Chains A and B, each alone.
Chain A
């Protein structure tokens, strides 16, 4: 993120938000959000595979609902992962902050 002030909880100009949380909360966030993200993406691809019969289905045979669910799961996984990057523990400023 591109925060200029490490203690700020929000940075309106860049849209990058930075929330400082206690260490054990940070660990829980890291572990569980990674777990959710991986699970969502894998399940998403499995569902997408099922919807398109492993990408062999003709366009009219594709199960649209299932395909959307699969894409949605992949997007959700990516979203959870991206969302969780805003949390950080105390004294874990990004390297750009340390340099200035």
Chain B
């Protein structure tokens, strides 16, 4: 779009033809003078143009083409689940960053430093109970929302061409979400966490050929120790956040470019 003004009329002459009062003439002259200098209208038109370009969608939606709205309207609330997951993720990220000020991943002492820091957050820290609950519940909500989002995508056929790639990315994301959940589950280092960790080690060891290597890599050994908790912590607060955030951005970016899928 060009900023050059289209010359579709006589700039000076038209005012004389109209039967304008002096106030109207002055008013219009002032506004035209301002517009010529500030170009606000032109900039707004650029924004309008941008708005339509940015929101470009598939040519004609399936529901429109075959008039399916009467059959599919009850799916539409479930189209909010993706946003719901994202919101839960953001809430968990913020509350998790705040929890990070008070948590320390150390297995020293009895009970351990890690467990003690959880106790401190839950019993002494101001709003600590609230903060940890917020983090835990947003994590639960995210797992549930991501799973239901996947069901919605599956049952409305939204994974079909041209959206296969985003479906695969979604599979990666739901896996990352569960790894997020697992690593976070181990951090309190209580009985629940410890034996969940034990199960994790044994599951890794049961993998053919690569099992021992996987256990070493993820859990820092074949039995639970300081290195296990340390690795879970770094995975939870450093490794996964970067990767997951980046992939979520790509996932949403592709949805943005392709438009919302219509039911098939």
Interface contact B41-A24, CB-CB below 8 Å: yes
Interface contact B27-A28, CB-CB below 8 Å: no
Interface contact B9-A22, CB-CB below 8 Å: yes
Is the interface on chain A under 10, 10 to 19, 20 to 34, or 35 or more residues? 20 to 34
Task: Check B52 for interface membership: any CB of A closer than 8 A.
Answer: no
Interface contact B20-A25, CB-CB below 8 Å: no
Interface contact B18-A28, CB-CB below 8 Å: no
- Bound-state CA distance A9–B34 (Å) is 25
Interface contact B41-A28, CB-CB below 8 Å: yes
B31's contact among A10, A22, A28, A86, by CB below 8 Å, is which?
A28
Given contacts A9-B18, A9-B19, A24-B5, contact A31 B27 (CB under 8 A): no
Q: Which residues of A contact B56 (CB under 8 A)?
A: none
Interface contact A31-B40, CB-CB below 8 Å: yes
Task: Check A49 for interface membership: any CB of B closer than 8 A.
Answer: no
Interface contact B40-A35, CB-CB below 8 Å: yes
Q: List CB contacts (< 8 Å) of A27-58 with chain B.
A: 27-29, 31-33, 35
List the interface of chain A (C-beta within 8 A of B). 9-10, 19-25, 27-29, 31-33, 35, 83-84, 86-87
Q: Which residues of B contact A22 (CB under 8 A)?
A: 8-9, 14
Interface residues of B, count at CB 8 A: 19
- Bound-state CA distance A32–B6 (Å) is 20
Interface contact A31-B35, CB-CB below 8 Å: yes
Interface contact B19-A83, CB-CB below 8 Å: no
Most buried by B among A23, A24, A29: A24
Q: Which residues of A contact B4 (CB under 8 A)?
A: none
Q: Which residues of A contact B41 (CB under 8 A)?
A: 24, 27-28, 31
Given contacts A28-B31, A28-B34, A32-B31, contact A10 B40 (CB under 8 A): no
Task: Check B32 for interface membership: any CB of A closer than 8 A.
Answer: yes
Interface contact A25-B19, CB-CB below 8 Å: no
Interface contact B35-A32, CB-CB below 8 Å: yes
Instruction: Looking at the assembled complex, report how far the CB atom of A86 sits from the nearest CB atom of chain B, in whole angstroms.
Output: 8
- Bound-state CA distance A43–B40 (Å) is 21
- Bound-state CA distance A21–B11 (Å) is 11
Instruction: Looking at the assembled complex, report how far the CB atom of B85 sits from the nearest CB atom of chain A, in whole angstroms.
Output: 38
- Bound-state CA distance A35–B35 (Å) is 12
Instruction: Looking at the assembled complex, report how far the CB atom of A26 sits from the nearest CB atom of chain B, in whole angstroms.
Output: 10
- Bound-state CA distance A32–B31 (Å) is 7
Task: Add 4 more A-B contacts to A20-B18, A21-B18, A32-B35 (CB < 8 A).
Answer: A19-B18, A24-B5, A24-B6, A28-B34
- Bound-state CA distance A21–B186 (Å) is 71
Interface contact B20-A19, CB-CB below 8 Å: yes
Instruction: Looking at the assembled complex, report how far the CB atom of B208 sits from the nearest CB atom of chain A, in whole angstroms.
Output: 70
- Bound-state CA distance A91–B44 (Å) is 22
- Bound-state CA distance A20–B44 (Å) is 22
